[in-house]
Amino acid sequence: MLENDRASQGLGIVVLQADPGHARISMVIREDMTNGFDIAHGGMLFALADTCFAMACNHPHLDEGTITVASGVDINFLKPALLGETVTAEATEVASTGRSGVYDVKITRGDDLLGVFRGRSRTIASPGKK
């Protein structure tokens, strides 16, 4: 999936593990990812968590012609990430029923919890497919 994800490639996201219902990825906070306070912009941490969520809920056993997208998400930022730090996101499936799912993502720096993200997913037909 990451091979076609130009946004995540541009952020330098690295896949550490990707399995059905679970994914783990990381990225290094670059200068162009910081805000006016010289800490990681929240949108960058959101993008990391969102990419991890997408990798956990889009896996090879999905029916051909379908994709799984976010139907809603919530994020709580707990601590800042700093320039040069490596941050990791780990997504875990909490529930999956029919075409809907719920996933939790932890954003960490080592053992330090920086944020938590909860994503709700929906499996739909791929654009252009009937």
Tell me the pLDDT tens digit for each residue of 70-110. Answer: 999 999 999 999 999 999 999 999 999 999 999 999 999 99
Asked if residue 130 is part of any domain, the answer here is no
| pLDDT at 129 (0 to 100) | 56
Handedness of CA 55, 123, 93, 73 (dihedral sign): positive
At 124, list the tokens: 């739909």
The CATH number of the domain holding residue 20 is 3.10.129.10
Q: CA-based angle 42:45:49, to the nearest 5?
A: 135
Q: 126 falls in which pLDDT band (50, 70, 90)?
A: confident
pLDDT at 65: 83
Question: What pTM was estimated for this model as a whole?
Answer: 0.93
- The verdict on residue 74 lying in a domain is yes
112 falls within a domain: yes
Cα–Cα separations (whole angstroms), residue 64 to 18, 19, 123, 125 = 19, 17, 11, 9
pLDDT band with cut points at 50, 70 and 90 for residue 61: low
Q: Confidence class of residue 2 from pLDDT cuts 50, 70 and 90?
A: confident
pLDDT at residue 51 greater than cutoff 70:
yes
Backbone angles phi, psi at 84, to 5 degrees: 90, -10
The H-assigned helical ranges of the chain are 6-10, 42-57
Q: With respect to residue 27, please indicate whether it lies within any of the assigned structural domains.
A: yes
Residue 55 lies in a domain: yes
Residues 7-14 have a mean pLDDT of 94
Determine the Cα–Cα distance for residues 10 and 16; give it in Å rounded to an integer. Answer: 17
* Segments forming the whole domain that contains residue 31: 2-125
Q: Which of 38, 48, 54 is closest to 11 using CA atoms?
A: 48
What's the number of domains the chain is made of?
Answer: 1
Q: What is the pLDDT of residue 33?
A: 98
